[in-house]
Amino acid sequence: MQFVKKLAVLAICAFFISGTLLSVVFVSSYSIHEHDKNGPDNSCVYCAFLSEVENLLKHLSTALVGAAIVFGALSTIRFVYISACSYTVFYTLVRLKVRLNN
C-alpha cells in the first residue's frame, strides 16, 4: 500500500512537471507569431492564450518558490535536530539506575 502511494505521488509530480515544461514550450514556440484579428473585438487569439499561460506560470512559480523555501527550512531544522541529538545524552530513569548500580 505504501508503494502505491509513493507511485501515485511520483506520477502526480511527473504530470505537474511535464505540464509546466509543455507550457513553457508553448509560450516560447508561439511568442513570435503573426497577429491575427480572429478573436473577439479584433484581438489576437494567440496573444490571449499566451497571456493566460504566462499568468498561470507566474502563479505556479510563486507557489513553487514558496514550497522550496519551506522544504529547505524543514530540511535545515531536521539536520540541526539530528546533529544536536547525536551530541546530547538523554538521561532516562533506567539509565540513571544502571549508572547508580555501577
Minimal distance in Å, beta carbon 40 to Zn ion?
14
* Contact between 27 and Zn ion per CB under 5 A: no
Three cell numbers, residue 19? 505540464
Q: Which position among 27, 44, 56, 57 is part of the footprint of Zn ion (CB under 5 A)?
A: 44
Q: Which position among 20, 39, 47, 56 is part of the footprint of Zn ion (CB under 5 A)?
A: 47
Q: Which position among 26, 46, 49, 53 is part of the footprint of Zn ion (CB under 5 A)?
A: 46
* Contact between 45 and Zn ion per CB under 5 A: no
Give the integer Cα–Cα distance in Å for 9 and 3.
Answer: 10
* Contact between 48 and Zn ion per CB under 5 A: no
Residues lying near Zn ion in the complex (CB under 5 A) = 35, 44, 46-47
